[in-house]
Structure 1
Amino acid sequence: MAETLGSLCDKLTIVKLKQWHSEDEIRLKSLAVQEKQLQQEMNEFISAAISGQIPIARLTFASNKVYKQEGNYVPDVLGSIGEIFSQLAHVNCNLWHEQEKVYEFEKVAASEKDQVVKQLAILNLERNKCIDGIDGNFKALVEKLGSQKNN
């Protein structure tokens, strides 16, 4: 996947989750470095996009997920970049906890296994919608700023 603001936001939420769930000092130091790198990369990406160094077409990289929509409801993703970033963080928290079940899948009751797999799929679709939503909002903002500069 090409780097976009949404993909960088996604990576940052995952680093924060790893920090939250880790007690290993060496790992925490490595994650702190990753966090700073991602913050810097996000700032550089935003600056480059606003200054026109990144073509508008490269500000989005739609996930274009192909899936059977009937029976697979994925909530709409609406709001500002900050609101969608918050929703992305929430979805990634839910994904983290659902994925934890898979690591010990043998302990999941047989009657619940299908629901765990289905929930992982739905959460991943929502995650991609959030990433696309951040990217779409950011692209619109950059376009708006660009048109204001030209007027």
Structure 2
Amino acid sequence: MAETLGMLCDKLTIVKLKEYHSEDPQRLESLAKQAVQLQQEIDAFVNDAIAGFIPADKLTFAANKVFKKQGNEVAEVTGAIGTLFSQLADVNCRLWHEVEKGYDIENVPVAEKDGLIKQLAVLNLERNNCIDAIDLKFKELIQSQK
């Protein structure tokens, strides 16, 4: 799968979440290296796009999620790239904590399990919307510079 700015931003937020939730020195060292590598990849991707080395049609890779829209409404994602990146970081934080509950699913009360699964699905939809919105906004920005 091709990497896009949104996908790289998503990976970076997840690495930062792992750093925040880890105490193991070796893991923290590895995660710090991953964070630097992703930051460098983001910088290179942005520079290559500005220089015209990445064709406009390669700046997006829509998730094209197929799901029942009724009853699965997700928060609207709008704004400039920084705002969209912030929304992505926020949704990844919320998703992280819901996934943590899932790791201990046998201790989640039966009455709450459906809600947990639904919340995971909706947050993942929102996450994909953020990634797609970052990509689209970046593509628009690059195209407007030509």
TM range, smaller chain = over 0.9
Question: What TM-score do the two structures reach when normalised by structure 2?
Answer: 0.99
The equivalent residue for 1:149 is: none
The equivalent residue for 2:13 is: 13
SS in 1 for 2:48: helix
Is 1:2 matched with 2:13? no
The equivalent residue for 2:106 is: 106
The equivalent residue for 2:32 is: 32
Whole-Å separation in 2 of the counterparts to 1:94 and 1:20? 14
Cα RMSD for the two superposed structures: 0.5
Segments of 5+ residues of structure 1 without an aligned counterpart are 147-151
Q: Which of structure 1's runs of 4+ aligned residues deviate more than 6 A?
A: none
Question: What TM-score do the two structures reach when normalised by structure 1?
Answer: 0.96
Segments of 5+ residues of structure 2 without an aligned counterpart are none
Whole-Å separation in 1 of the counterparts to 2:82 and 2:2? 21
Report matched runs for 1:35-54 at 5 Å: 35-54=35-54
The equivalent residue for 1:69 is: 69
Structure 1 residue 2 displacement after superposition? 1.4
SS in 1 for 2:3: coil
Identity %: 62
SS in 2 for 1:88: helix
